[in-house]
C-alpha cells in the first residue's frame, strides 16, 4: 500500500469522543499506513479557545489527507452568540475545505429491516447512495432578499448553477457509480426550472466519458415518490443542494436507524470530511451507550473515497454486517429480546469480526 495518510480526528462534543474512539480502534486494527492527529471543533473548541473552529484546527485540517469527525453541539452552547455556536465550526470547516460534494449512503442491513418505516420486503437489502451538491443552488444564489415592490413585500432567491459546478459534482457521482452497481440517476425539475435544464444537459454531456455507467433522469417529485414506493430501483442518485437536502433525509428515514448512517463530504482534490449523519446526542453522552457504527462506516468511506483503499473499506463494512448477524445491538437498534451492548463492546466486536 502507498505512503502514510494523515487523518485529522475531530471528536467534537456529546457522544462524539466516544464514537470516534471506536472508529480509531477499528482503523488501527487494520494496520494500515495511517497517522492520527486530534484537534478541537465545536463546543469543545469554544470552551478551550473561544472559537468553534480555532486556528490550530484549521492548520491540522488543511494539512491532513482526510478528516474524521464525531459530532458538534449541545444545549450547553445554545445560548452563545451565533458566531460562537458549535454548528458554526462545522459550517466553517466545510467552507474552508471547499467540500462541495455530500455523499450519503442509505443502507439497510437485512438484520435491521424491521426498524424501517416501510415494509421489510420494500427495504430489506437497500443500498443506495445520494450525492448532493453542497455549495451552490438556491441556498447561495444572488440576488436574494425581501423587499418592497408595488407597495407589498416580496421575497426572492435565485437558483443558480454554472456548468463547471454541475460538471464537478457530476464527475464525483459518475465515479461513485463506477465503484458500485454502475447506475446513476440524476434528479432535476427540468420541466419548470431552467437551472435544472442546464443540470440535465451537462449530465448528458458527461455521460460519454463514463460508458460503463448507465445514466437516467428523474423529476424530483417522481423521485420523492419512487424512494418510498420502490427504493431499491436506485443505485446512485445525484442532485442539487435543495433537492438533495430533502431526498437525503427521506432516504435516511427509509432505514429507520440514525445510528447506522455514515456520510462523506468531498472537495476537488479528493480530500474529505467523514462524519455520521446523526448529531451529538447530548441526551446519552458520556453513558457509553451510543451506537458507534455510523462513525465506523464513515471511516470505511474515508478509506474508499479519499485513499482509494477499497479492500479495507469493504472489510469494515463486512465486519459491521457480521456483528449485526451475530445479534449484537446497541440500545438504539435493539428489538425486544436482543442482546444490548455498549459503545466500546460494539467497537470491540467489529474489531474481532475483522
Ligand atoms: P443535530 O441538530 O446535531 O442533528 P439532533 O438533536 O437533531 O442533533 P441527534 O443528536 O442525532 O439529533 O439525536 C437525535 C436522537 O437520536 C437522540 O435521542 C439521540 O440520543 C439519538 N441518537 C443519535 N445518534 C445516536 C447514536 N449514535 N447512538 C444512539 N442514539 C443516537
Ligand atoms: Mg438534527
Q: Which ligand is nearest to the CA of 282?
A: 1
Query: Alpha helix locations (H) across 65-112?
Result: 86-96
Tell whether the torsion through CA atoms of 14, 279, 74 and 71 is positive or negative: positive
The pTM (predicted TM-score) of the whole model is: 0.91
Q: Is 321 annotated as a binding residue?
A: no
What confidence tens digit (pLDDT) does each residue in 200-236 have? 999 999 999 999 999 999 999 999 999 999 999 999 9
Residue 343 counted as domain residue: yes
Catalytic residues: 139, 189, 221, 245, 249
Residue 287 counted as domain residue: yes
Q: Cell 430501483 belongs to which residue?
A: 233
Q: Is 281 annotated as a binding residue?
A: yes
Specify whether the CB–CB gap between 138 and 277 falls below 8 A: no
Q: Is 29 annotated as a binding residue?
A: no
Q: How far apart are CA 111 and CA 132, in angstroms?
A: 28
Q: Is 342 in the pocket of ligand 1 (CB under 6 A)?
A: no
pLDDT of residue 258: 85
Taking Cα atoms as reference points, which of 63, 107, 100 lies closest to residue 256? Answer: 107
What confidence tens digit (pLDDT) does each residue in 75-123 have? 999 999 988 999 999 989 998 999 999 999 999 888 887 766 677 888 8
Residue 154 counted as domain residue: no
Q: Is 257 in the pocket of ligand 1 (CB under 6 A)?
A: no
Taking Cα atoms as reference points, which of 84, 126, 122 lies closest to residue 109? Answer: 126
Total count of domains within the chain: 1
Residue 200: which H helix or E strand, with range?
A: helix 194-206
| Percent of the chain whose predicted confidence (pLDDT) is above 90 | 86
Q: Is 73 in the pocket of ligand 1 (CB under 6 A)?
A: yes
Q: Is 86 annotated as a binding residue?
A: yes
Residue 331 counted as domain residue: yes
pLDDT of residue 115: 67
Residue 255 counted as domain residue: no
Q: How far apart are CA 60 and CA 290, in angstroms?
A: 27
Residue 88 counted as domain residue: yes
Q: Dihedral of the CA atoms 216, 220, 226, 227 (nearest 10)?
A: 100
Q: How far apart are CA 240 and CA 202, in angstroms?
A: 13
ipTM, interface predicted TM-score of the complex: 0.94
Q: Give distance in angstroms: CA of 21 to centre of ligand 2.
A: 22
What confidence tens digit (pLDDT) does each residue in 257-291 have? 888 999 999 999 989 999 999 999 999 999 999 99
CATH code, domain carrying 61: 3.40.718.10
What confidence tens digit (pLDDT) does each residue in 18-47 have? 999 999 999 999 999 999 999 999 999 999
Minimum CA distance residue for ligand 1 atom 15 = 281
Minimum CA distance residue for ligand 1 atom 19 = 281
What confidence tens digit (pLDDT) does each residue in 232-263 have? 999 999 999 999 999 998 998 888 788 899 99
Confidence of residue 2 (pLDDT cuts 50, 70, 90): low
Q: How far apart are CA 29 and CA 346, in angstroms?
A: 14
Minimum CA distance residue for ligand 1 atom 13 = 281
Q: Is 263 in the pocket of ligand 1 (CB under 6 A)?
A: no
Residue 204 counted as domain residue: no
pLDDT of residue 118: 74
Minimum CA distance residue for ligand 1 atom 22 = 281
Residue 92 counted as domain residue: yes
Q: How far apart are CA 214 and CA 353, in angstroms?
A: 35
The boundaries of the domain holding residue 354 are 1-102+261-354
Amino acid at each position: 500500500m502507498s505512503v502514510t495518510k494523515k487523518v485529522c480526528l475531530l471528536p467534537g462534543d456529546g457522544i462524539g469522543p466516544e464514537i470516534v474512539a471506536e472508529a480509531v480502534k477499528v482503523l488501527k486494527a487494520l494496520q494500515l499506513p495511517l497517522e492520527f492527529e486530534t484537534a478541537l471543533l465545536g463546543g469543545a473548541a469554544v470552551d478551550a479557545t473561544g472559537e468553534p473552529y480555532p486556528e490550530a484546527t484549521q492548520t491540522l485540517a488543511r494539512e491532513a489527507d482526510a478528516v474524521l469527525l464525531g459530532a458538534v453541539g449541545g444545549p450547553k452552547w445554545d445560548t452563545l452568540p451565533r458566531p460562537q455556536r458549535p454548528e458554526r465550526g462545522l459550517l466553517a470547516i466545510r467552507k474552508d475545505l471547499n467540500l462541495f460534494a455530500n455523499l450519503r449512503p442509505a443502507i439497510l442491513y437485512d438484520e435491521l429491516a424491521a426498524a424501517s418505516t416501510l415494509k421489510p420486503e420494500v427495504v430489506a437489502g437497500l443500498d443506495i447512495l445520494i450525492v448532493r451538491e453542497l455549495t451552490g443552488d438556491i441556498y447561495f444564489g444572488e440576488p436574494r432578499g425581501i423587499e418592497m415592490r408595488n407597495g407589498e413585500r416580496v421575497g426572492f432567491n435565485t437558483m443558480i448553477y454554472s456548468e463547471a459546478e454541475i460538471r464537478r459534482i457530476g464527475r464525483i457521482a459518475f465515479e461513485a457509480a463506477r465503484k458500485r452497481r454502475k447506475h446513476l440517476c440524476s434528479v432535476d425539475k427540468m420541466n419548470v426550472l431552467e437551472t435544472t435544464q442546464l443540470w440535465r444537459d451537462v449530465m448528458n454531456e458527461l455521460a460519454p466519458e463514463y460508458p460503463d455507467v448507465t445514466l437516467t433522469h428523474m423529476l424530483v417529485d417522481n423521485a420523492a415518490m419512487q424512494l418510498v414506493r420502490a427504493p431499491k430501483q436506485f443505485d446512485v442518485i445525484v442532485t442539487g443542494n435543495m433537492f438533495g437536502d430533502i431526498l437525503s433525509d427521506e432516504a435516511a428515514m427509509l432505514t429507520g436507524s440514525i445510528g447506522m448512517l455514515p456520510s462523506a463530504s468531498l472537495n476537488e482534490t479528493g480530500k474529505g470530511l467523514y462524519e455520521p449523519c446523526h448529531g451529538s446526542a447530548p441526551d446519552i453522552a458520556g453513558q457509553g451507550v451510543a451506537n458507534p457504527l455510523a462513525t465506523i462506516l464513515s471511516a470505511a468511506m474515508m478509506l474508499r473515497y479519499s485513499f482509494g483503499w477499497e479492500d479495507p473499506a469493504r472489510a469494515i463494512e463486512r465486519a459491521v454486517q457480521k456483528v449485526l448477524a451475530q445479534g449484537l445491538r446497541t440500545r438504539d437498534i435493539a428489538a425486544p429480546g436482543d442482546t444490548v451492548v455498549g459503545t466500546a463492546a460494539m467497537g470491540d466486536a467489529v474489531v474481532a469480526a475483522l
